[in-house]
A and B are shown apart, each in its own frame.
Chain A
Amino acid sequence: MSSSICLRRLPQLSSESSIHSSIGSRNLLSSTQTSSFSTSTARFASPLMKKKTGQVAAPKRGAKTLNVKKGRGGSGRDTGRKPAIGERKALRKRIVLSNTNALEVPTLQDLTKDNVLDKAVEGKVMGIPGEVVDALRAVEAFKTSQGWSLFRRPAALMRKETVQIAELVKQVEAGEAKAKQTIRKVLVGDKMSGKSTLVLQGLMIALLRNWVVINLPDAKDIVLGHTEYAPLPGSTPTQYYQETYTATLLSQIAKANSEILSKIQVTSKPALPIPTPPKLNLLKLAELGAANPEASWPVFVALWKELTLPGRPPIMMAIDNLAHVMRNSEYLSADAKPVHAHDLTIVRHFVDHLSGTKTLPNGGIILAAETKSNSPACPALDYSIQLAEARQLGREVLPEWNPYKVVDMRVMECLRNMEVLRSNGLSKEEARAIMEYYAASGMLRAKVDAPFVSERWTLAGQGNIGELERASVRARI
């Protein structure tokens, strides 16, 4: 093989080109600037060169060519400008409780303090009075997934399970002054079977009966790791409190129960880290905690202590999306171990009452609702629900724990003696009542008769209320 450059001239070549770079070299050898040891430069360069020189002929006039470039004016393409930060989320989370286009239902009656515990309202659609709506809105009991925005004003069907909750309320109120009952219920049921609405109706009944209402609207918000947290001083094992979340909760309590709380004076001397005025009622106390997040947890403890003194009203506590607080939270401890949800003070407070280790001296109801659409896998909760249902139905063969699943003993202990309230499908009569309400509101354009109700009831999986709504008013076609 002969080299393209004479090896003897190689040193000359390099010096010549460096010195006389400005003068056009007359040396024939200087024309090859690339190193001949590598062929890759030339090989990869060639297509580029071709592209530069050779122009592809324009397509013939009228000939159709494939053009897959973006921005060709497709009908479905999203080319709109983006809105400000947080604006779209606010719109998504907005709760609309009224539709001015819907017709006013003349036969719709309001619930009152007296008729809410009455058996006669069962199976009827009843309106929710305005002040209760405001309170329920304050505790975030309304959800965006529910169909409130379609009707003139909020109204709900007093279904069988609602009347059962009303019975429980009656039972608590009828108890002796010394031994008031604390009733604990976990609401279970199929997807879209109205569990959250049952929680809402429970809170509504409590508000109408002048109870104190505390609601944790979504358990996921507590354990998600989106709010700041700090270890609670002097707690063993270490518990964690969430200042901002507790402050928000206090402000919700204050808004929803302002009338009751403003009538009750603080009798004990709470030791709070913030200066307090000498004469204080419970509303002021809660507002104080809401305004000072750093003192929110001590304020909450003081408020709770005041509320559980003898002679105070009964309490309704509710939580939705229970499975989220029955596992490790997203928070980490100081040694980077996950914090169990039960070690968060708010959750701990709720769970103690749900498990029955603490009771409400003035009576009350603890409601917890599971969710089927956005809940983490929680085998201990599922098993506890099955067990409780089997016990309640008086089954002889109780379900057994699957030994291949990891057991969370804290959850098992907590849910050992729980009771469940299953949200079943509506009966045909209830379905007819609510469909007549839909039709009277102008949202359902059909003649509501027995075959029609029967058809929709069957289409809705034997009266699942969410599916019934979807099949009749949501225009899901």
Chain B
Amino acid sequence: MQKNPAPGVISSKSTPTPSDMPPRLNVLSLTRGIPFRPKPQTPWRFQPSTPVVPVQYRAFADARDGSKGADSTPLPHVTEEAAKIAKIEGKSGPDLEQGTPVAEIVKGDKAAQENLPKVMQDKLRAKTSGTSAPKGSRSFSTATTPTTQDGGDLGLLSFDATATQPAVPGVKFGLPVLPIPKDGHLKHRYDPVVDQVTKLLMRHGELSVAQRNMSLILNHLRTAPVPTINPSRPLVPGAPPPSHLPLNPILYLTLAIDSVAPLLRIRSQKGAAGGGVALQIPVPLGQRQRRRTAIQWILTSASRRKTTASGKGGFAQRVAQELISVVEGKSSVWERRNAVHKLGVAARANIVVPRKR
């Protein structure tokens, strides 16, 4: 599912369907997006690095969920159960406000003690056997060398988030904010465009080198002068003014790539036209594919630029210069994109739309 619908491509699945609704059958929706540029565009949205997203749905179940049977309600906590029984019997049970330690419940109960987890059993045994070194202590030190003179503050002492009683019992660090922010997943923690460019910059599987080059590119974009936009080469609609770009290099990069990304590619269908000529059929591209094509064009034309600096950052600098020239409308990538679009327009008659029944 596309998170950001690409400008110019109508996506039939741009709105997320709520999970409780049946999957809808939209007869009118097209099987694939049609390349066509509508007039009004969604403005460019700034995405803060720490988005504040209101909680829309929960990932956990509670009593108000659809199921209503007696068996569907989960068993209460052992303390709550004890309190309920005591209430029925008319006695004073354990106080629900304060948690009852399990060790206290099983204090005299040998049979219950056997069913305890091993950690607690060890603890009980250690208590009865007397003072001995705790389990798992080593004869050697595993401490790291403190970098500060006054002791081993590992950055946890002044971190007071966990000092207070957790609001939800059993959750030490509080519940995560839902939905999980975009960069909350380990494998998708970087900006999608930056990640894609980094992977395409990579040669011989050397990701770290590619990451350094990416960093150099972004820093070059930050330090380069403000670009002057060529009105005959308009950027993606809703782009911020050029003076905003150097301070937001990721946006700069995204803007350059999205502006020259082609909407389609030409597929040559062999034998379809007859006489040994391949039939050229325009095929719409997805957002990621469009970006991939644009990045590869940019990288190719960057490699053709004149080398200006020796050392490790030479190629990164040329890529950054190419990105700037794309935004300024000077790059040859624009012609390449226009050629593809022109061919796509010429070949649109070759599209065979499957007949609806």
Q: How far is the CA of A150 from the CA of B220 in the complex (A)?
A: 9
Q: How far is the CA of A464 from the CA of B276 in the complex (A)?
A: 67
Q: A88–B247 contact, CB under 8 A?
A: no
Q: How far is the CA of A454 from the CA of B155 in the complex (A)?
A: 6
Distance (Å) between the CB of A225 and the closest chain B CB? 21
Q: How far is the CA of A168 from the CA of B276 in the complex (A)?
A: 87
> Is A445 in the interface zone, CB < 8 Å from B?
yes
Q: How far is the CA of A82 from the CA of B218 in the complex (A)?
A: 24
Q: Which of A61, A73, A102, A454 has the most CB of B within 10 A?
A: A454
Q: B304–A79 contact, CB under 8 A?
A: yes
Q: How far is the CA of A158 from the CA of B183 in the complex (A)?
A: 34
Q: Which of A73, A80, A149, A425 has the most CB of B within 10 A?
A: A80
Main SS class of interface, A: loop
Q: A424–B49 contact, CB under 8 A?
A: no
Q: How far is the CA of A96 from the CA of B219 in the complex (A)?
A: 13
The interface bits of chain B over 65-87 (1 if a CB of A lies within 8 angstroms of the residue's CB, else 0) are 00000000000000000000000
Note all chain A residues with C-beta closer than 8 A to B215: 474-477
> Is B329 in the interface zone, CB < 8 Å from A?
no
> Is A9 in the interface zone, CB < 8 Å from B?
no
Note all chain B residues with C-beta closer than 8 A to A457: 155
Q: How far is the CA of A75 from the CA of B191 in the complex (A)?
A: 23
Q: How far is the CA of A411 from the CA of B304 in the complex (A)?
A: 51
Note all chain A residues with C-beta closer than 8 A to B211: 476-477
Note all chain B residues with C-beta closer than 8 A to A464: 147
Q: How far is the CA of A474 from the CA of B307 in the complex (A)?
A: 23
Q: B219–A425 contact, CB under 8 A?
A: no
Q: B50–A89 contact, CB under 8 A?
A: no
Q: B303–A475 contact, CB under 8 A?
A: no
Q: How far is the CA of A264 from the CA of B219 in the complex (A)?
A: 45
Q: B300–A80 contact, CB under 8 A?
A: no
Q: B270–A73 contact, CB under 8 A?
A: no
Note all chain A residues with C-beta closer than 8 A to B286: none
> Is A100 in the interface zone, CB < 8 Å from B?
yes
> Is A403 in the interface zone, CB < 8 Å from B?
no
Known: A76-B299, A91-B308, A457-B155. A427 touches B148 (CB 8 A): yes
> Is B57 in the interface zone, CB < 8 Å from A?
no
Q: A99–B309 contact, CB under 8 A?
A: no
Known: A78-B315, A92-B311. A442 touches B247 (CB 8 A): yes
Q: How far is the CA of A75 from the CA of B294 in the complex (A)?
A: 11
Question: Which one of B14-22, B24-32, B222-230, B339-347 is at the A interface?
Answer: B222-230
Known: A101-B246, A446-B49. A76 touches B303 (CB 8 A): yes
Known: A80-B318, A424-B149. A477 touches B303 (CB 8 A): no
Note all chain A residues with C-beta closer than 8 A to B313: 92
Q: How far is the CA of A457 from the CA of B154 in the complex (A)?
A: 10
Q: B218–A88 contact, CB under 8 A?
A: no
Closest partner residue, chain B, to A76 (CB atom)? B203
> Is A238 in the interface zone, CB < 8 Å from B?
no
Residues A397-455 near B (CB distance < 8 A): 424-425, 427-428, 442-443, 445-447, 450-451, 454
Residues A68-83 near B (CB distance < 8 A): 73-83
Q: A150–B300 contact, CB under 8 A?
A: no
Distance (Å) between the CB of A437 and the closest chain B CB? 15
Distance (Å) between the CB of B177 and the closest chain A CB? 13
Q: How far is the CA of A445 from the CA of B244 in the complex (A)?
A: 13
> Is B196 in the interface zone, CB < 8 Å from A?
no
Q: How far is the CA of A447 from the CA of B314 in the complex (A)?
A: 33
Q: How far is the CA of A190 from the CA of B304 in the complex (A)?
A: 40
Residues A87-139 near B (CB distance < 8 A): 87-89, 91-92, 96, 99-103
> Is A463 in the interface zone, CB < 8 Å from B?
yes
> Is B279 in the interface zone, CB < 8 Å from A?
no
Q: A475–B219 contact, CB under 8 A?
A: yes
Closest partner residue, chain A, to B276 (CB atom)? A61
Closest partner residue, chain A, to B314 (CB atom)? A88
Residues B116-175 near A (CB distance < 8 A): 147-149, 153-155, 158-159, 161
Q: B307–A80 contact, CB under 8 A?
A: yes
Q: B300–A73 contact, CB under 8 A?
A: yes
Q: How far is the CA of A322 from the CA of B318 in the complex (A)?
A: 36
> Is A227 in the interface zone, CB < 8 Å from B?
no
Q: B212–A454 contact, CB under 8 A?
A: no
Q: Which of B200, B224, B225, B311 has the most CB of A within 10 A?
A: B311
> Is B249 in the interface zone, CB < 8 Å from A?
yes
Question: Which of B212, B225, B249, B306 touches A83 (beta carbons < 8 Å)?
Answer: B306
> Is A62 in the interface zone, CB < 8 Å from B?
yes
Q: Which of A96, A445, A451, A474 has the most CB of B within 10 A?
A: A445
Q: B309–A91 contact, CB under 8 A?
A: yes
Q: How far is the CA of A142 from the CA of B72 in the complex (A)?
A: 69
Q: A80–B218 contact, CB under 8 A?
A: no
> Is B113 in the interface zone, CB < 8 Å from A?
no
> Is A458 in the interface zone, CB < 8 Å from B?
yes
Note all chain A residues with C-beta closer than 8 A to B219: 149-150, 474-475
Q: How far is the CA of A277 from the CA of B305 in the complex (A)?
A: 54
> Is A462 in the interface zone, CB < 8 Å from B?
yes
Q: B147–A80 contact, CB under 8 A?
A: no
Residues B287-329 near A (CB distance < 8 A): 296, 299-300, 303-311, 313-315, 318
Q: A458–B148 contact, CB under 8 A?
A: no
Q: B315–A88 contact, CB under 8 A?
A: no
Distance (Å) between the CB of A372 and the closest chain B CB? 14
Known: A79-B304, A475-B249. A445 touches B155 (CB 8 A): no
Q: A477–B214 contact, CB under 8 A?
A: yes
Note all chain A residues with C-beta closer than 8 A to B270: 62
Distance (Å) between the CB of B96 and the closest chain A CB? 32
Q: A101–B147 contact, CB under 8 A?
A: no
Q: A75–B158 contact, CB under 8 A?
A: no
Q: B223–A101 contact, CB under 8 A?
A: yes
Q: A458–B155 contact, CB under 8 A?
A: yes
Q: B296–A75 contact, CB under 8 A?
A: yes
Distance (Å) between the CB of B189 and the closest chain A CB? 8
> Is B190 in the interface zone, CB < 8 Å from A?
yes
Q: How far is the CA of A76 from the CA of B246 in the complex (A)?
A: 25
Closest partner residue, chain B, to A422 (CB atom)? B149
Q: B194–A477 contact, CB under 8 A?
A: yes
Closest partner residue, chain A, to B161 (CB atom)? A451
Known: A76-B303, A445-B49. A88 touches B309 (CB 8 A): yes
Q: B49–A101 contact, CB under 8 A?
A: no
Q: A83–B303 contact, CB under 8 A?
A: no
> Is B92 in the interface zone, CB < 8 Å from A?
no
Q: A88–B307 contact, CB under 8 A?
A: yes
Q: How far is the CA of A155 from the CA of B87 in the complex (A)?
A: 69
Note all chain B residues with C-beta closer than 8 A to A89: 310
Question: Which of A75, A96, A103, A424 touches B300 (beta carbons < 8 Å)?
Answer: A75
Distance (Å) between the CB of B306 and the closest chain A CB? 5
Q: How far is the CA of A475 from the CA of B222 in the complex (A)?
A: 10
> Is B248 in the interface zone, CB < 8 Å from A?
yes
Q: A454–B158 contact, CB under 8 A?
A: yes
Closest partner residue, chain A, to B313 (CB atom)? A92
Distance (Å) between the CB of A89 and the closest chain B CB? 6
Distance (Å) between the CB of B196 and the closest chain A CB? 12
Q: List 8 A-B contacts (CB under 8 A).
A: A80-B306, A81-B306, A88-B309, A92-B310, A92-B313, A99-B222, A457-B155, A477-B198
Given A150-B222, A475-B249, 4 additional A-B pairs, CB 8 A = A73-B300, A443-B222, A443-B247, A445-B248
Q: What is the interface of chain A, defined by CB distance below 8 A to chain B?
A: 61-62, 73-83, 87-89, 91-92, 96, 99-103, 149-150, 190, 424-425, 427-428, 442-443, 445-447, 450-451, 454, 457-458, 461-464, 474-477
